Amino acid sequence: MSAMRRVFALIDCNSFYCSCERICQPELKRRPVVVLSNNDGCIIARSAEAKALGIGMGAAYHKVRHELRRQCVVARSSNYPLYADISNRVMRLMAEMLPSIEVYSIDEAWGNMTGVADPAALGRSIRERLAREIGMPVGVGISTTKTLAKLANWAAKKWKGTGGVLDLTDPVRQEKLLRLAPVSEVWGVGHRSAARLAALNIATAWDLAAFDIGTLRKTFGVTMERTARELRGISCIGLNEGPPPKEAISSSKMFGVRQTELPPIREALAAYVARAAEKLRAQNSLCSSIQVGLQTQLADLNGPRYANAVTLALPAPTDDTREILALAQRGLSQIYRPGYPFSKCSILLMNLSQRGELTPDLFALKPRSGSEQLMKVVDQINQREGRGAVRIGRIPAKPKWAMRREMLSQRYTTRWDELIGVRG
């Protein structure tokens, strides 16, 4: 009896950040929209209408803002709490409709469609439900390997005739798309690899699939060989139902205004530690050591420059924000130098282990009583009421060092005081 053929789906949100902005702001529908990076630095997301105007990804906002206004393009500052909440809603809905999923990034996930009688119909149902219940447009690519499903997703978004869903499980349809798709659109083939492949007359996905496997392995390595096999319909990359725990967790942002005094930098570090510890607990890990970093704007060749970092060990593995913060503040005092215009500080949690994985040290200091329960309650409240509802007392509600976000929309789904209002 032959094994059941595996079928994968890739569900990818269209212009995710821009679509999140549109969900709660209907007036932005059909208008060109761009979303900016931290401190409103550069363009990191563009709606289809903005792309059609020729607005480039990564363009510095201060250089193109006048052109954006001339073309009536709406610019928004990054609203990460809004994006994270909508992403969670999208993933939960997909998990309800598929046997299993693997979250790949904030805006896309793999779905297991093995054994599904009509994968295309399920793909359309997922797309319609996401649009109806959340307002998120997506493309759905379906095939017998992850690489083919990714390519099918690209085609589903590129050609409107697909209706946003493309089932590429049929070998005849696979070959047709492989002959049309540029090799640069294949998952795992970057611009540099595409240029090297072009030197071997490999211009399309079909050329790559048909090329000698041994030569690919010798020239490019195992990853490219695996990609070619996947394009041939041989599944080499399985479905993981959850990402592995991170081996290190960092939190860092550029200050909205450069800081010379130590107190506001301590506030910023406290906020970054709180966020990193929240991520640590979310993956059920403990931290054994930390690295604290501090730097000026190193790209400024005319101003004073300074950068330093210090690594410190915790007395015992912990996920308690208070324990990590106390050590981080001590490290900050060691590397701070008065008078420098600092632009950034950072915290890196290292030597992570899963809770219950390590044998406790009999001679180590005992953790604070009720620490695990307290951190759990804090996380639950912040998940329900919005991040920062309960926070370390050192962190002000409106810090002076916060990122510049002059075009920030409301956190419509995570803050009670920023809910959508309806006027009579």
Q: Give per-10-residue mean pLDDT for the chain (424 aa).
A: 79 96 91 92 94 92 93 94 93 95 94 94 97 96 96 94 94 95 92 91 95 93 93 90 80 90 95 94 94 90 90 94 96 95 95 77 69 90 80 84 83 76 64
What are the angstrom distances between the C-alpha of 397 and each of 220, 364, 391, 411? 51, 36, 9, 15
Q: Give the per-residue pLDDT at 363.
A: 62
CA distance 195 to 200: 9
Exposure string (b/e) for 279-289, b if CB count within 10 Å is 16 or more? ebbebebbbbb
Residue 55 within any structural domain of the chain: no
Angle of CA points 243, 248, 251, to nearest 5°: 105
Residue 410 within any structural domain of the chain: no
For β-strands 33-36 and 43-46, DSSP reports them as: antiparallel
Residues 262 and 318 in one domain: yes
Residues 260 and 166 in one domain: no
Q: Give the per-residue pLDDT at 1.
A: 41
Residues 113 and 169 in one domain: yes
Residue 306 within any structural domain of the chain: yes
Q: Give the per-residue pLDDT at 347.
A: 96
Residues 93 and 222 in one domain: yes
**Any idea of the CA torsion for 15, 20, 88, 147, to the nearest 10 degrees?**
-10
Please say whether the beta carbons of 295 and 307 come within 8 A.
yes
Alpha-helical regions (H) of 159-198: 171-180, 191-198
Residues 226 and 320 in one domain: no
Q: Give the per-residue pLDDT at 145.
A: 95
Residue 281 within any structural domain of the chain: yes
Please say whether the beta carbons of 156 and 162 come within 8 A.
yes
Residue 257 within any structural domain of the chain: yes
Residue 186 within any structural domain of the chain: yes
415 in helix, strand or coil?
coil
Residues 295 and 329 in one domain: yes
Residues 254 and 227 in one domain: no
Residues 370 and 317 in one domain: yes
Contacts of 352 (CB under 8 A, 6+ apart): 245, 246, 247, 248, 249, 280, 285, 286, 287, 288
365 in helix, strand or coil?
coil
Amino acid 64 reads: V
Residues 272 and 219 in one domain: no
Please say whether the beta carbons of 185 and 177 come within 8 A.
no
Residues 88 and 218 in one domain: yes
Amino acid 423 reads: R
Question: Residue 362 carries which DSSP code?
Answer: T
From 231, 262, 295, give the residue that closes a domain.
Answer: 231
Residues 269 and 211 in one domain: no
Alpha-helical regions (H) of 46-79: 48-52, 61-70
* Residue 318 phi, psi (nearest 5): -155, 160
Q: Give the per-residue pLDDT at 6.
A: 92
Q: Give the per-residue pLDDT at 253.
A: 86
Residue 339 within any structural domain of the chain: yes
Domain span at residue 225 reads: 8-12+83-132+144-231
- Give the neighbor-by-neighbor strand order of the sheet with 138-143: 101-105, 108-112, 8-13, 138-143, 165-167
- CATH number of the domain where residue 347 is located: 3.30.1490.100
Residue 20 within any structural domain of the chain: no
Residues 209 and 265 in one domain: no
Number of separate domains in the chain: 2
